[in-house]
Structure 1
């Protein structure tokens, strides 16, 4: 299957993408992983991206598109793939369509993870990270530490990342509404969007998505 996963920040895209890709036995292709891999391997696209990032500039669409297309051409992606974070705007969606046409393949579904905006803010702004080990993550209401401000694992100080402040989260949502939401309408016009309510347990959300994909494959 070939799937695009969309949704606002805090919708759980990364978590759901990993579970879905594993269940479907297809590679999970995320823009974050693409950038890290290309930069660490020193590819021409990776060097271009790094130059823009070092200059404090946004990486142009053509660089991101090039990385995504290179990854989708890899042998393990021949049976299908799950795209997470790409496309993120209309230009990238149109480039993806062109790539699919050239390779005589098509998308099976665009899964839109739906989460109320207040819940997005609650999820992200409530997150607390351990200064000693960033893999130790807590949440002030969802998964609070035993002692406020102290990591259960190592006793390190818990803090809120600047990116997780409510003000920053709302700015990220503004960018999402402006740049990424239009691709949902773009794919809706093609009849490819399926909205997945993303509230509840992770396993419940995964099952909703799997049920939808099974129905499409039937």
Structure 2
């Protein structure tokens, strides 16, 4: 099957992003090998540690399903100390410069399937028709509010919409510290324009459609 130019467009993971993925994998304690890898499943590649999910669209990548990229650093036995920086993203992120990137569309970066199963996570990326409205925040402002409200070293924060506005996306949102002694608030951003049918849904998954329903 021939690939189009778009099929070969690089899909880059920065060193900083790679180190975050490796840190999440390390946080599992390496007790589950399937949570220490990025796995290709159909047109997507996935990473999960049971608490977060990351998905990359790798359409056009010519490797079999269940091909994988290692996020667990290798262990040196002293005889073969050369790290695997080709298919092990954790080792690669320790060896490269700040501006380096890993191309997920490079088939040589992927290890062959090894028979290890991967959690079924694809269905989580199907958006429900009901539930909370989508909300968009300025990442820099949100980071600043969290830093101001939360004590140093905290890894958890709580958000909730305030009163006012006719939807969650039109209300300011509370940011609360664990002990509720400090509170912040941030106003959602206006989302970038999407399609003419859904101007406020740029980049979001399509809502859930029952099988056999008309588009």
TM-score, with length taken from structure 2: 0.31
More helix by share: 1
Instruction: Select the structure with the greater relative contact order (CA < 8 A; seq sep ≥ 6).
Output: 1
Bigger Rg, which one? 2
